[in-house]
Amino acid sequence: MTKKFICLGDKSHAGVITRLSRDVSGNVMAIFAASLFPLIGLVGGGIDMGRGYLAQSRLQQACDAATLAARKRLGAGAAVSGEVPTDVAAAGQRFFNLNFQDGAYGTEDRTFVMTLEDDYAISGVATVKVPTTLMSVFGFDEVDVTVDCTSNLNFSDLDVMMVIDTTGSMRLTNPGDSENRIDSVRQVIQDFHTLIEAAKSPQAEVRYGFVPYSTNVNVGHLLADDWVAETWSYQSRERGEQERTVYTHYIDHTNWTYVSGERSETTEVRRYRATHYPGTPAAADTGDEENVGTDGYYRCEGGQPESTLQTTDEMLDERFETVTNPDGERRIQTWRRWHNGTRYSTRRQGQTCIVETSTDTNFVQTYEKIREPRWRTRRPWIYDQYSFDMSNWRNRTAGCVEERATYEILDYDNVDFNQALDLNIDMIPTPGDTDTQWRPMNPDAIYVRSIGNNGNGSITPERRTTTSDYADTGDWWFSACPTPARGLAEMSGDELRNYLRTLDPAGATYHDIGMIWGGRLLSPTGLFAAANADRDGVERSRHMIWLTDGATESYDIAYGAYGVDGLDRRRWNPETSVLSLDETVEARFSTACQQVKNRNIIVWVVAFGTELNPIMEQCGGPGRVFQASNAEELNDAFEAIARSMSELRVSS
């Protein structure tokens, strides 16, 4: 091999050295080698960070979807207990898994945790680890990704009118429940209120109203004076002027005589304080002697043990005697009676109630039962329709009212609302016009001819003059006047609780009157338009929750919102109507429901412990009808209604 040396001192080669020093073409490889390491970092970092950002974006979507699903599932029970129920957590986790599967995008160690916040929002925190590829050269083996999210139900301006069936069947207990129906309803409504109040927007106005209904509704205190008639005619009676002498029989039990056995001394069992009922003040400056006020009184309502006393009677002898004035026959029977068991009784001593007891052991007595004819002189009753001065109705009545003018509807597809003023829910009465006004209910005046107090007899529309006492059905159980209704207003939890305690189940089931008055109190264009209008340009959402626990139950002799249907015949005639009274009530309910929905009001129908019928299903419509057989299902229904009323929002 020949070696070639270059002498630096040789001038002939100086140009070569100079050119070589200026030639940079040989440095490219060195520069490339020096820049390769940071270039890998830049490219690898971009790739790994891109994967991390993709994972973060999808993880955020999964977090949002999970908390939204959980918050929709969350109900009043969770709002009360302060904990996320297992089913709510499961719903949220399921949505998280669907939107970000384990190992998605090469990630590892996926976690997701949800928390119930103080404002009943559902918050979530999701984390994953994103393994790196080229970045591992620099010691970065993974990238931690964390996202958080929050979902809540928010309510803007909202009006909720609850039309609650408070008939006597509300005292029953559904199978599987520990509380009766009315107590279950109270608790569910309280929880519903808690949920909505916790979720409403800070500036939102949420108002609640109530219409308890049975045979009637109690709304008089909400009406203006000139909306109510000062005089009205009622199915009643008056004394006739001429006295009548009546032949009747008198029965007496007398001559009680001890035979054998033992009766213990009466002993005291317990004492308790009597319930006080305050009197009513006298009407001021009316000159009406019927309204001078009443005194308060006390009543024993604490109950007593059930008596076990049993009696057995045996007739020993019977004889007859002829009597005169009036002529007839006196019957005298001799009886023996055995007593065995314990009896309880309660007597009041001032403000104290005393429960006492005594026991009979083979205690035997004899007595005589005498039946003999008697003359009885009395003025007869004239049963008819009579006008009453009701100008002092606010002090004189409980507050229930009869409906204004209507007619018997034959075609419910073409109702004339100029005649059916009861179904014209927005119409404001004209002062002095009794057709357009409501009429004070006057139950103490009501007598049904010709029905006896034992329920026997038949409806007689014509006037009757008789010494018989006909049924005063205005005070019978199926004519009950419910708890006063409540107009729309914001309510605290304590205010709601106190009101719900006043609900007193009684009366029969007339669905139409509940729907009519629920619509009137909620309508933005009717009697209470000023109070029900949108606030400061903010549109209100209006909802009616109509709850019942039974099918229509009407009685032709009951005194209700249309008078005594069998006698007054304002909407139904027992002699000529094609529909039954039950069918008439339901048809008018359906018409009233449509009138309510025509006011842009959403109607929710809830059947509690009873079956839904087609009329109810049609009233609510798809997705707005619920059937609950127990308290748990009722709570689920109200939670679903609350969710549907709300605006579901997510913030990340």
pLDDT of the residue at 245 = 80
pTM: 0.66
Shared-domain flag, residues 106 and 219:
no
Q: What is the pLDDT of residue 235?
A: 98
The arithmetic mean of pLDDT across residues 468-489, rounded, is 95
Give the mean pLDDT of 502-518.
96
Residue 19 reports pLDDT greater than 80: no
295 versus 144: which is more confidently predicted?
144
Classify residue 193: in a domain, yes or no.
yes
Q: What is the pLDDT of residue 648?
A: 61
- Has residue 242 got a pLDDT over 90? no
pLDDT score, position 361? 97
pLDDT band at 132 (very low <50, low <70, confident <90, very high): confident
Whether 426 maps to a domain, the answer reads yes
Percent of the chain at pLDDT > 70 equals 86
End position of a domain, from candidates 107, 123, 152:
152
CA 554 to CA 612: how far, in whole Å?
18
Q: Examine the domain organization and report whether 145 and 187 are in the same domain.
A: no
Indicate whether 503 and 643 sit together in one domain: yes
Report in angstroms the alpha-carbon separations of 156 from 78, 414, 541, 619, 650.
22, 37, 8, 25, 16
pLDDT at 367: 97
Confidence at 2, pLDDT banded by 50, 70, 90: very low
Q: In this structure, are 302 and 350 located in the same domain?
A: yes
**What confidence score (pLDDT) does residue 5 get?**
36
Mean pLDDT of 94-121: 86
- Which ranges in 8-27 belong to alpha helices (H)? 14-22
pLDDT recorded at residue 87 = 85
pLDDT (0 to 100) of residue 156: 76
pLDDT at residue 253, as a whole number:
94
Average pLDDT for residues 110-130, to the nearest whole number? 86
Indicate whether 250 and 204 sit together in one domain.
Answer: no
Where residue 14 falls among pLDDT bands split at 50, 70, 90?
A: low
d(CA 622, CA 368): 70
Domain that holds residue 345: 244-285+292-378
Q: What is the token pair recorded at 30?
A: 């060195």
Q: Is 150 left (phi over 0), alpha (psi -120 to 50) or beta?
A: beta
For residues 15 and 169, which has the higher predicted lDDT (pLDDT)? Answer: 169
135-139, 226-230, 445-449, 473-477: which range is least confident on average? 135-139
Mean pLDDT of 351-369: 96
Out of 130, 152, 174, pick the residue that ends a domain. 152
- Cα–Cα dist 528/487, whole Å: 9
pLDDT for 150 equals 87
549, part of any domain: yes
Total count of domains within the chain: 3
Residue 289 has pLDDT above 50, yes or no: no
Can you tell me the mean pLDDT for 328-347? 96
Range name among 131-135, 215-219, 229-233, 348-352 with the lowest pLDDT average? 131-135
Q: Could you give the angle at which helices 581-597 and 511-522 cross, rounded to 10 degrees?
A: 20
What type of residue is 68? L
280 domain-assigned: yes
Mean pLDDT of the 38-42 span: 52
d(CA 515, CA 422): 11
Pick the more confident residue, 285 or 564. 564
Decide if 228 is inside a domain. Answer: yes
pLDDT band at 284 (very low <50, low <70, confident <90, very high): low
User: What's the CATH number where 412 sits?
Assistant: 3.40.50.410
How confident is residue 649, by pLDDT bands cut at 50, 70 and 90? low
Q: Which residue has the higher pLDDT, 69 or 79?
A: 69
Give yes or no for a contact between 482 and 441, defined as CB atoms under 8 angstroms apart. Answer: no
SS3 state at 180: coil
Same domain for 496 and 442: yes
In a domain, 14, yes or no: no
Q: What is the pLDDT of residue 21?
A: 56
- pLDDT 10s digits, 512-559: 999 999 999 999 999 999 999 988 878 889 999 999 999 999 999 999
Answer yes or no: is pLDDT of 80 > 80. Answer: no
Mean pLDDT of 205-213: 97
Strands of 97-195 (E only): list them. Answer: 108-116, 122-131, 142-154, 158-165
Regarding whether 187 and 136 lie in a shared domain, the answer is no
Tell me what pLDDT residue 646 has: 75
For the chain, the first-to-last Cα distance in angstroms comes to 78
Identify the residue with better confidence: 224 or 154.
Answer: 224
Mean pLDDT is highest, among 17-26, 271-280, 507-516, for 507-516
Name which residue leads in pLDDT, 138 or 224. 224
Which of 183, 109, 121, 184 has its CA nearest to residue 149?
121
- Can you give the pLDDT at residue 220? 95
Provide the mean pLDDT of the chain. Answer: 87
**Domain boundary residue, one of 378, 405, 438:** 378
**Does 613 lie in the same domain as 546?**
yes
Which tokens sit at 471? Answer: 């049924």
Residues 280 and 194 both lie in one domain: no
Model confidence at 12: pLDDT above 70: no
Same domain, 371 and 394: no
Residue 422 and residue 370 in one domain: no
The answer to the question of residue 70 being in a domain is yes
Return all residues near 160 (Cβ < 8 A) that are at least 6 apart.
196, 206, 207, 208, 209, 543, 544, 545, 645
What's the confidence (pLDDT) of residue 552?
Answer: 96
Q: Is residue 554 part of a domain?
A: yes
Position 287 pLDDT exceeds 70: no
Q: Are residues 273 and 343 in the same domain?
A: yes
CA pair distance 62, 57, nearest whole angstrom: 9
CA distance 54 to 60: 10
